[in-house]
Amino acid sequence: MSTKRGESQHVGRERVTTTVNRSTEGSPKTAFIILGLVFVTAAVTLTLVYRNFPKLQSDESVHLKLPKNIEDAKNLGRVLSQYKDQYYMTVLGGIFITYIFLQSFAIPGSIFLSILSGFLFPFPLALVLVCLCSAFGASFCYLLSYLVGRRIVNTYFPERAEQWSMQVQKHRGNLLNYIVFLRITPFLPNWFINITAPVIDVPLMPFFVGTFIGVAPPSFIAIQAGTTLHQLSSSADAISWTAICALAGFAALSIIPIVFKRKLTEKME
């Protein structure tokens, strides 16, 4: 039995090694040119959204920027709330595009947009908005990594990618539930999942759906915190022991089908 397990692990290592080695093929110069063009296009789109926003007072325009802390989010929330009713789609589209931009290029700050969404929009809309943005942004990051991230993974963290590849092979038959579990729990950073997933051959569809479902519980907490945005002193105030227990419960629910299927398979064998 232990021999078979050792052979399985060896095969898994060979598979990820083959995948990573295959990732070194192609022209890195061309890949980085494509990445640069994509980034410039996304930045131009974001600039156009900014320029199409209604004319602001000078004391308001200084707050129309990517929030880096909770104070930036508060100031931006105050500005957007004054224009939301008259320019609803502009405000909604601006947050949508900005959120996807941050997620696509693994830029920190999306947590503040989640909180801001809870402040500006009804809870159901805010939750769907954040889940969609997270799923699309993570998927764009996945596709960008497919172009240039393979060489980065091979250079900077091949061992960590290999370890995750072994786990993915174990859960290949329950990949959707496994992605949901990873999104809920903090075991792997989201940026690492996004960049490494195409390298270890995680299919895009379960990646997208698992992300959409998996980010819902933590987003629920951030959006709920947004209803009391002006009372927050930092993003850490959104996390409480109740929230942590709720996330643990959601994580347990996501992993139950995997455990049940494994037990059922063992009994049938």
Task: Summarize pLDDT for 187-237 with one digit per residue, the tens.
Answer: 788 888 998 999 888 999 999 999 999 898 888 888 888 877 765 655 555
- For the chain, the three-class secondary structure string (H helix, E strand, C coil) is CHHHHHHHHHHHHHHHHHHHHHHCCCCHHHHHHHHHHHHHHHHHHHHHHHHCCCCCCHHHHCCCCCCCCHHHHHHHHHHHHHHCCCCHHHHHHHHHHHHHHHHHCCCCCHHHHHHHHHHHCCHHHHHHHHHHHHHHHHHHHHHHHHHHHHHHHHHHCHHHHHHHHHHHHHCHHHHHHHHHHHHHCCCCCHHHHHHHCCCCCCCHHHHHHHHHHHCHHHHHHHHHHHCCHHHCCCHHHHCCHHHHHHHHHHHHHHHHHHHHHHHHHHHHC
Candidate from 128-137, 158-167, 232-241 with smallest mean pLDDT: 232-241
**241: pLDDT strictly greater than 60:** no
pLDDT per residue as tens digits for the range 83-104? 888 889 889 988 999 999 999 9
What's the whole-model pTM score?
0.77
